[in-house]
Structure 1
Amino acid sequence: MGLRDDLQADLAEAFDGDLADAVAEFTAEHPGPAAYDPATGTMTSTVIAYSGRGVFAGYRLDQIDGTLILATDKRLTALQNEVTRAPVVGDTIAGMAVVRVEADPAAATWRLQLRA
């Protein structure tokens, strides 16, 4: 196993054990391509659903600047191998818009900024 696999295994074990009370399953939506409906002559938007689990948290007071990070923003740390699709800016997770997506250096977790 490589470093990434070791980290993901250790984090999954922590998610199932010591952090189990803080871990939440989530559902997400990615706006898919619009499809033309010849019967109505209109474009219909599609949604690609995906899921995962992670830890939702707020930001520290010293991180909130009122512009890039709002007091109501949430952080989500999710295991990459448990998220069924890579999140991108513009997706919706747990009813909140994804405004920033980062991967840790080992590519074991996603760090997401969510805005209500």
Structure 2
Amino acid sequence: MGMREELQAELAEAFDDPDGLADAIKPVAGSRTVKGGYDPVIGGTVPDSIIYYTGRGMYGSYLAKEIDGSRIQTQDAKLLVLQSELLEVREGAVTDFPATPKIGDQISGHRAINVTEDPARATWTIQLRK
């Protein structure tokens, strides 16, 4: 088991632990509209499509010293999500396909302003704004 898998397993255990983070963990639901366009293979226009994903994460806020009023605003939220648990939803069912959040996604009623991952590629940190 590599460092990434170990870190994800430890974090998932902490997310589940009633004496750990379990009370702070909330469901996460995201979506992204992918613009259609001309497809030369079919010789026509492809309609817009929506990608849905789901997982769980921990919402937090930014420290006062991080808030600059421009890039990070007072009402912004910080969301930490395990990469291994953020999965695509297709035809109403959660798949085994990992999802990658992107700037502009709608996540639990907020818009993703910034998306980063930790060096081990175990978690996403997403800046959310209403």
Q: Is the structural similarity TM-score above 0.5?
A: yes
Report the Cα offset of residue 32 of structure 1.
1.9
Residue 13 of structure 1 corresponds to which residue in structure 2?
13
Give the structure 2 partner of residue 23 of structure 1: 25
Letter of the structure 2 residue corresponding to residue 74 of structure 1: A
**Runs of at least 5 residues in structure 1 that lack an aligned partner in the other structure:** 37-42
Is 1:67 aligned to residue 70 of structure 2?
Answer: yes
**Could you tell me how far 1:48 is from its partner in structure 2?**
1.2
CA distance in 2, matches of 1:67, 1:105: 26
Give the root-mean-square deviation of aligned CA atoms.
1.7
User: Which residue is equivalent to 2:4?
Assistant: 4
Counterpart CA distance in 2 for 1:47 and 1:35 is 14
Conserved in 2, the CA contact under 8 Å of 1:35 and 1:46?
no
Alignment of 1:71-90 (within 5 A): 71-84=74-87, 85-90=99-104
Q: How does 1:17-56 map to 2 (within 5 A)?
A: 17=17, 18-34=20-36, 45-56=48-59
Give CA-to-partner distance per residue, 1:6-53, whole Å, 9 cap, x none.
0000000000001000000111001123379xxxxxx85332111111
Match of 1:39 in 2: none
SS of 1:21 mapped into structure 2: helix
Show CA shifts across 1:48-103 (max 9, x none): 11111100011111111100000000000000000011001011101111011100
Higher strand share: 2
For residues 44 and 59 of structure 1, what CA distance do their matches in structure 2 show? 38
Q: Distance in 2 between matches of 1:95 and 1:44?
A: 24
Structure 2: 5+ residue stretches without partners: 39-45, 88-98
Between the aligned partners of 2:104 and 2:56, the Cα distance in structure 1 is: 19
TM-score by structure 1 length? 0.89
